[in-house]
Structure 1
Amino acid sequence: MSSDRRILYVVYCGVAVAVLKEFNAVVTEPYMDEPFHVPQALAYCRGEWSTWDPKITTPPGLYILSVLLHRVFMFKCNLNLLRLTNTLTLFALPLVLTRLLGFHQRRRSPPKLTPSIEALVLSIFPVAWFFGFLYYTEVPSLVSVLCTVVAATQNKHWLAGLLGIVSCLFRQNNVIWVLYAYAASQLMRLRFKRGDAKLYDPPALGAGPGDFIRSIMSAPKALPELLPAFAPYAVVLALFGGFVIWNDGIVLGDKSNHVPSFHVPQLYYFIAFATIIGWPVVICGEGGPLKIVTDVSSRIRALLTTIISIFMGITIQHFTIHHPFLLSDNRHFTFYIWRRVFMLHAAVPYLFIPGYQACAWAWWIRVARDQSLLQTLVLPVLILPTLLPTPLLEPRYFLVPYILLRAQVVDVQSYGIFVEGLWYMVINMATTYVFLYKERVGVGRFMW
């Protein structure tokens, strides 16, 4: 069995190399954001460490990683090999995901270089897979976040803190996932701690509002148990706070086009995106599609649904953002979704409200099945500060939240994993084909 998984991993890496080769053969010049990232990396390769493009909004982690590969393995600093930086991190993705899935499923991790089938399938998640062949920060950022979480779950907290700093070098808001790494590790530890647990944290599916209040009230009693492991993460937070003060904000450059906004509907777009792209995970649990439909239906109460719908309608009316990048850049799929769906009629955004609620309940049921209340709540709570301030509808922003959400679903059936992998492959083939071979004159290449 292990040898079969190793063969599949080799196939995965081989396909990735073949796709990278095709990207480099067809897209011979830097594209979209690459004209900003590539010159910056080349400057670092030449040792020009004081050079910085003020249009770049993220820290220099990607360029530093490329320089390390350049110095250690004698890689050339050109477009093709800079893109290889991301593909190499794509190689690491299933190995890290295997550990993360093992933590949530409470299974012993397999030998090194032997990723699980489920991890291999999740590694071809379309957004991650696509950006594994362009010189973008997405995949290195994702892998560094997952490494941080895995280290924390293994009680290697100082290593997790160090990896958390590395993750923040790729994207500033990864500091939120450093906190997630700490919280996920501690909540699991307290849940299965022998003896008297001071933190009240009941099973999520049977919990109600009263249980949540009781959990919050019990938190101060658990602080003596929680604080010792927090020291490394406190160091990360202190360093991040120093950066924000020094930089006068979170965004490094081009601050005028990246002003934080209160974008409540972004949460609705995320849950819709997660369900559309992850529907096999939602419906292929124990009991199959009929059970999830029944469970969701049992959760819907007329009064509560009406109150939530009114609240969502108000937030859609007052906090929907028509970002100028979204309205003007017709090289992204979101441009057409926004123009042809959300702007079709003023009433359209409100028509999705029941669907948003049903999808949210479905994911809650799937994730909460084998978790405590606080374990299930911690990710949604920390998603808030990552998505609420982002004014632009951009699937790349959903990458880390989706992977962390998907990893918590522990009972996807074998046929469901197969369907999930097939679905991802169909999307990947379609988006890659369109990007590489359907370039439009005067428009360019279409991408996420």
Structure 2
Amino acid sequence: MGRLAVAVIVSSWVIPISILVNRTVPDPYMDEIFHIPQAQQYCKGNFRSWDPMITTPPGLYYLSLAHVASLFPGMFCMQAASSISDVCSTAILRSTNGVLAVICSILVYEIIICLRPGLDERKATLYAVVLALYPLHWFFTFLYYTDVASVTVVLAMYLACLKKNYLFSALLGALAVLIRQTNIIWMLFVMCVGVIDYTLAHRKYNMQLDDSDVSVGKDTQLASNKGVTAGSNFRKRRLGSAVDTVNHSIPRKSAPSATRSSGWFDEIQDILLKSWHFKWELLVSFCPFFVVLVAFVAFVYWNGSVVLGAK
């Protein structure tokens, strides 16, 4: 069980159903009448061609080119195709989403393991397989749409952020926006998750340092108390007052008040205040996300709208 099991199980229905769909609906279906001809233009190297009815960026077509290029050597050796454009059939382009669906299920498994490391491997595999059967995701697995590619790249971005690889996560965020521009919202969500995790992790580290300082102080007091022999009552009172002074001087963690932890807005305010203390570290770590965001805003300003084609 694990990644391999998830990939095998998902592939066991992706492959036969893809064959069935291509036999039943061999021609472009619904919005495929726009996406497939556009991808075929890219396969011919005509990157300046653009169908004005397409409203999403060309990220899916670039992924399809990579997929087709990986298949071309084998098909060329089998004399099934003489050029990359010959490989860009409807069935091959649809298979791009089939491959991405398998990758997506593996990413779901990895995210589950990352979020719940104590979860049994069989349960994690079952959860990943069940999520791979989500109806909307499952339906578009067998067609040439941007949905599966978009979800796959967004999940990869989220997983990279969970593993604190923020630069790679931001690059995947740029790719996600290149597939579907509304993914900028998911990129901001992932960035916020990363900021919160970063802040809480550093706060936990600082609390551990405080706890270690307190324990060292207490050990010092115990050692001093053991070294003191029986003496006058005056000396005992002096020792007791000294210990009390040390105890009062040691910083203690106060339990969070019910008012502070009860409200959702109070929690947000608490996180924002703590994030402000790490503002420079956060700026350096999450700078790539801001670069993508600024580039997106510049694109919207230049384009006059979020959508590309028919407005």
Using structure 2 for the length normalisation, give the TM-score.
0.71
Equivalent positions of 1:230-379 (< 5 A) are 230-255=286-311
Structure 2 counterpart of 1:38: 36
Structure 1 counterpart of 2:24: 26
Larger Rg: 2
CA distance in 2, matches of 1:109, 1:158: 30
CA distance in 2, matches of 1:202, 1:159: 39
- 1:97 and 2:135 aligned: no
CA distance in 1, matches of 2:264, 2:119: 34
Structure 1 7/213 Cα, relative in aligned 2: closer, same or farther at 3 Å? closer
CA distance in 1, matches of 2:302, 2:69: 30
- 1:146 and 2:158 aligned: no
Task: Say how many residue pairs are matched.
Answer: 245
Structure 1 109/194 Cα, relative in aligned 2: closer, same or farther at 3 Å? farther
- 1:88 and 2:144 aligned: no
Structure 1 254/172 Cα, relative in aligned 2: closer, same or farther at 3 Å? same
* SS of residue matched to 1:28: coil
CA distance in 1, matches of 2:265, 2:61: 49
CA distance in 2, matches of 1:93, 1:186: 24
- 1:118 and 2:127 aligned: yes
* SS of residue matched to 1:134: coil
Q: Is contact 1:16-1:87 (8 Å) kept? A: yes
Give the residue type in structure 1 aligned to 2:181. Q
Structure 2 counterpart of 1:395: none
CA distance in 2, matches of 1:155, 1:146: 14
Give the residue type in structure 2 aligned to 1:161. A
Structure 1 210/60 Cα, relative in aligned 2: closer, same or farther at 3 Å? closer
The alpha carbon displacement at 1:188 in A equals 2.4
* SS of residue matched to 2:182: helix
Give the residue type in structure 2 aligned to 1:65. L
The alpha carbon displacement at 1:118 in A equals 1.1
* Higher RCO (CA < 8 A, seq sep 6+): 2
Give the residue type in structure 1 aligned to 2:270. S
Give the residue type in structure 2 aligned to 1:236. V
The alpha carbon displacement at 1:73 in A equals 2.0
Structure 1 123/202 Cα, relative in aligned 2: closer, same or farther at 3 Å? farther
CA distance in 2, matches of 1:9, 1:186: 32
Return the structure number with greater helix share. Answer: 2
Residue identity over aligned pairs, in percent, reads 35
Structure 1 109/77 Cα, relative in aligned 2: closer, same or farther at 3 Å? farther
CA distance in 2, matches of 1:134, 1:9: 19
What is the aligned counterpart of 1:53 among 28, 51, 54?
A: 51
CA distance in 2, matches of 1:40, 1:244: 22
CA distance in 2, matches of 1:186, 1:108: 25
Equivalent positions of 1:176-195 (< 5 A) are 176-192=185-201, 193-195=204-206
Q: Is contact 2:154-2:186 (8 Å) kept? A: yes
4+ runs deviating over 6 angstroms: none
CA distance in 2, matches of 1:240, 1:109: 41
Equivalent positions of 1:150-169 (< 5 A) are 150-169=159-178
